[in-house]
Structure 1
Amino acid sequence: MKKILSCSLLSAAMLTFASAHAVTKNITVTASIDPTVDITLADGTVLPDTIAMQYVVGSGLGTVSKDVKLWSNSTTADLNVALASSPELSASTTTTTIPLTVTLNGTALSTTKSTLSYATYFPNGITNGSITIPLAISQTTKGVVSTAGEYSGTVSLILSQATSS
Structure 2
Amino acid sequence: MLVTKRNGSKEQFSVEKIHRVVEWATKGINGVSFSDIEMNANLSIHDAIETSKIHQILIKSANDLISTSSPNYQYVAARLLNMQLRKEVWGGDKPIKFLLFLKRSTDNGIYDPTFVKKWSNDDIEILGNYINHNRDDSFTYAGLQQMIDKDLVKNRSTGTLHETPQFAYMSIAMCLFDN
Q: Per chain length, whose mean CA-contact separation is higher, i.e. which structure has more relative contact order (CA < 8 Å, sep 6+)?
A: 1
The answer to whether the superposition gives a TM-score over 0.5 is: no
Task: Report the TM-score when normalising by structure 1.
Answer: 0.23
Larger helix percent: 2
TM-score by length of 2: 0.22
Higher Cα Rg, which structure: 1
